[in-house]
Amino acid sequence: MSETNLKSIAVLTSGGDSPGMNCAIRSVVRTALGAGLKVYGIRRGYAGLLDGSFEEMNASSVGNILQHGGTILQTSRCPEFLDPEIRKEAFHILKRKKIDALVVIGGNGSYNGAFELYSEHGFPVVGVPGTIDNDIQGTEYTIGFDTAVQTAVEAVDKIRDTASSHARTFIVEVMGRKSSAIALQVGICTGAENIVLPDQGEPDFLQISKDIKRGIQRGKSSSIIICAEGENPGLSYRIQERLKEDHQLDAHVCILGHIQRGGNPTAHDRSIASHMGHVAVQALIEGRSAIATSLVNGKVVELPLEECLKKDNKFNPQMENLAKVLSI
């Protein structure tokens, strides 16, 4: 696409919401308006694209939103979009609405949908990584991760207070599906006695019990086990059962859940989201598409979208080792 062809773009947020998505929307809208483009917001992700929920946006549509969590455009998971026929329909809707390019802010599933729109119909798309899981290939960072980690750390600090007062063990389950990123970061930042990660198969119950008992022996007044949720629910309760049955240890379970997805974005999330939204639109203006804005060596750059499609569980052995060394 040449610079002159681009007149009108649309933006949507898709998949699980993440704090900072609003900053990215604001940046996309204002960068596009500044370049003389029309901008449409699409409500509820791909679902809203399919039912024609488009609204033209102006500078005030995105005023006073960057400090708020969630997404003003709302979002959805849209399994229908896995169907090529449905994507064809989406392409025709975009054409009818005279949209020249689409910015998709979301995670892996959202990137896949965007890439298919491009590869099947040649429709120009740009991906902006928005998910608390920090599990997108190619980018060091996804918008929302820092806020989610901060929320979880604050929650675990509170749990530590009560755990210490009662000399208890807590198993705290954090989000991230198959990604280790939130669990590792939260584990390090809260001094967890053990971190259970999803990619390491069956948890080592004996090791967990040894870590807890060692702490008790050296006078620790509490133990925290951070457990990444993984793909199958219920792991925290299984750990609780095994600790009780095999090692005579009582533990309480606390599942943090969706609290990690809400809340005001941190300055880091606001800044990265603002940069990424800008780079996304700038790429389209300069005629590039099928790219994803990515953080590489601390800088926001463009990478081919195709390279960013695979999930990356962000397991980092160095971080895991650090957590072990510091939790004695």
- How far is it, in rounded angstroms, from Cα 72 to Cα 26? 10
Whole-number minimum distance, CB 214 to ligand F6P, in Å? 31
Q: Is the dihedral of CA 298, 302, 308, 309 positive or negative?
A: positive
User: Measured from the CB of residue 56, what is the shortest distance to ligand F6P in angstroms?
Assistant: 29
Token pair in block for residue 327: 């939790």
Kindly give, in sequence order, each residue whose CB lies less than 8 Å from that of residue 265, ignoring residues fewer than 6 positions away. 19, 20, 22, 23, 66, 67, 69, 143, 144, 146, 147, 273
> How many C-alpha atoms does 222 have within 13 Å on its Cβ side?
21
The type of residue at 110 is S
Residue closer to ligand F6P, measured from CB, 173 or 302: 173
Between 257 and 287, name the residue whose CB sits nearer to ligand F6P: 257
The CB-of-107 to ligand F6P minimum distance in angstroms stands at 6
Shortest distance, CB of residue 33 to ligand F6P, whole angstroms? 30
CB of residue 153 vs ligand F6P: minimum separation in angstroms? 16
Q: Is 246 a catalytic residue?
A: no
Residue placing its CB nearer to ligand F6P in the complex, 9 or 148: 148
Binding site for ligand F6P (CB under 6 A): 16, 77, 107, 131-133, 175-177, 229, 261
Nearer to ligand F6P, 109 or 215 (CB): 109
Give least dist CB 167 to ligand F6P, A: 31
Catalytically annotated residue among 17, 51, 100, 133: 133
Return d(Cα 296, Cα 317) in angstroms, integer: 19
Q: Where are the alpha helices (DSSP H) in 35-70?
A: 45-50
Q: What is the DSSP string of 211-254?
A: HHHHHHHTT-S-EEEEEE--SSTTHHHHHHHHHHHHH----EEE
Calpha distance 104→88 (Å, rounded): 17
Buried b vs exposed e over 231-246: b needs ≥16 C-beta within 10 Å?
eeeebbebbbebbeee
Residues 314 and 178: beta-carbon distance below 8 Å = no
The smaller minimum CB distance to ligand F6P, of residues 12 and 175, is found at: 175
DSSP state, 10? E
Of the pair 288, 311, the CB lying nearest ligand F6P is at: 311
Catalytic residues: 133
